[in-house]
Amino acid sequence: MPREARSQRVEAIILKHSDFGEADRLLTLYTREQGKLRALAKGARKPGSRKGGHLEPFSRSRLQLASGRDLYIVSQAEAIETHGALSADLEALGYASYAAELADKFSAEGEAQPGLYRLLAETLARLASGENQQLAVRFYEVRLLDQVGFRPELQNCLDCGEQIQPQDQFFSFEQGGALCPRCGRAQSGARPISLPALKWLRHLQRSSYTQAGRADPAPSTQRELESLMNAYLTYLAERGLNTPRFLERVRRSAAQ
């Protein structure tokens, strides 16, 4: 990837990190200025490192990046938001991991998407503040689909073109939206979607976050739409997502 400047300052969300060498840390960043980047934080794992605490997953930080041979090098780091409250709530932590995983899967390295950066930053802040987790994550999914060009069609049947009526319908992953009952039953891959779930999905699609919060879907509707959106996003990503399985384990453990 070309690097026009030897050093640059960016605002970044740390999507994930892994150990590298004896004391370094390999980071996947989502930056406001350049989208997704990979960078190396040298010495970040050493006791007393001045950078390590500013580079935890989901933190939003100001970074000074120097150009290396294959990776950017983090020369300075200053946290803006650390979202430390996430570590006290495993489900909120799982949802934050899910939001970060989607940003990673649906972005190409070096392509700036300021709208997606802002959406991710707002979602992580909402999860850390203890807001309605289902609302925060469903709103994030719907807006992410808008940002990356996969906005579902929910007003007209994608097969026959007829307007969707107020009744249970079908959802096609392949076609990207709603099918009327007649067309949906004729397609083996189409998935049923109840009227309440479809209404909530439409509401999320057309509303601001504040407006979206005025809806109060039943728990069964929330579970249905979560399952549908997880499956649809997995289909679009063309690979399995790790965090939905983690969330399921957390819920099973809490229910015991």
Domain map (residue ranges) of the chain: 7-82, 85-255
Indicate if the pLDDT at residue 197 is higher than 80: yes
Average pLDDT over residues 203-215: 97
Rounded to whole angstroms, how far apart are CA atoms 30 and 220?
34
- pLDDT, tens digit (0-9, with 9 covering 90-100), for 102-144: 999 999 999 999 999 999 999 999 999 998 999 999 999 999 9
Confidence of residue 228 (pLDDT cuts 50, 70, 90): very high
Which CATH code fits 7-82?
2.40.50.140
Rounded to whole angstroms, how far apart are CA atoms 78 and 144?
27
Calculate the average pLDDT of the chain: 94
Angle of helix 114-128 relative to helix 90-105, nearest 10 degrees, comes to: 170
Confidence of residue 5 (pLDDT cuts 50, 70, 90): low
Indicate if the pLDDT at residue 4 is higher than 70: no
Indicate if the pLDDT at residue 2 is higher than 50: no
Give the homologous superfamily in CATH for domain 85-255. Answer: Recombination protein O, C-terminal domain (1.20.1440.120)
